[in-house]
Amino acid sequence: MGLSSSKSTTKPYYTQQVEGTFDALKAAHDANQANVQAAANGFTNLGNNLIGQFHAGDPGVKAATQYNTDVLSGRYLDAHNPYTGAMIAQANDQIANDVNAHLGTRGRTGGDSQASSLAREIGKNTLNLLYSDYSAERSRMGAAAEQAPALASAQYLPLTPALSALQTGTTLPEQSADQYADAVRGLLGQYTVTKQTVPIGQLLAQIAGTGLSAWAGGGFKGLGGGGTSG
């Protein structure tokens, strides 16, 4: 039984193909890094711009919010429509003409009855127009109250795409590296190296076994100083 200590290396027959693919993969990865970084910088800049818009506030949202606040505060409830006065005056002139014409047909113009009828109709018309204006403004106040939550949320709309852009900008280089690492791991899975080494204990046992076999077979008879005679 001979002594043995073996050390062997095993490679698949397509070693050259695997190594060639790795070189091509590394070259493609290295060449694309500038594009990856440029894209990452673009997303980062976009995110920063959107955050800047959030701090500055969108002009349209700010104007709508200010108007809504004015309506809710009753600003337009106290200061009537600038055309209301003209509308009242025009309507009252028409009422006066109608009342005078009606009373004139009965020969009652110029008396207390005319004045009373005219004052009553004009007062009624004025009150109706003012109440209509008041009621319309109260309706707008109710609508403004319903729109307030949406306007408040609109102020934060830039934050969602801003955070998404910043996250993409910071993770693109990492994702590229992870994909490269996964591809390399996939190649190494097809390229195995196996080493086989006999342990020292097993080697000593082989040596001892060889010596015992030689002794049992008479290989060491000459060492004892002679054999038996007879």
Assess if residue 68 is contained within a domain.
Answer: no
What pLDDT sits at residue 222?
46
Question: Could you tell me if 148 and 165 lie in one domain?
Answer: no
At 130-172, the pLDDT tens digits run: 888 888 888 988 999 998 988 888 888 888 899 899 888 988 8
Q: What is the mean pLDDT of residues 208-228?
A: 52
Question: Could you tell me if 102 and 32 lie in one domain?
Answer: no
More confident residue, 216 or 136: 136
3-class DSSP state of 1:
coil
Pick the last residue of a domain from 109, 139, 154: 154
Backbone angles phi, psi at 6, to 5 degrees: -105, 150
Q: Does 197 score more than 60 pLDDT?
A: no
Assess if residue 17 is contained within a domain.
Answer: yes
DSSP letter, residue 79:
S
Our count of domains for the chain comes to 2
What distance in Å separates the CA atoms of residue 45 and residue 95, rounded to the nearest whole number? 67
pTM of the model: 0.46
Contacts of 45 (CB under 8 A, 6+ apart): 169
> What are the tokens at 86?
């003209």
Q: What is the mean pLDDT of residues 203-228?
A: 54
Helix (H) or strand (E) holding 22: helix 15-56
Question: Could you tell me if 131 and 164 lie in one domain?
Answer: no
More confident residue, 176 or 22: 176
Question: Could you tell me if 15 and 49 lie in one domain?
Answer: yes
Structural domain span for residue 137 = 73-154
What pLDDT sits at residue 190?
55
Residue 192's closest CA among 6, 18, 23, 5? Answer: 18
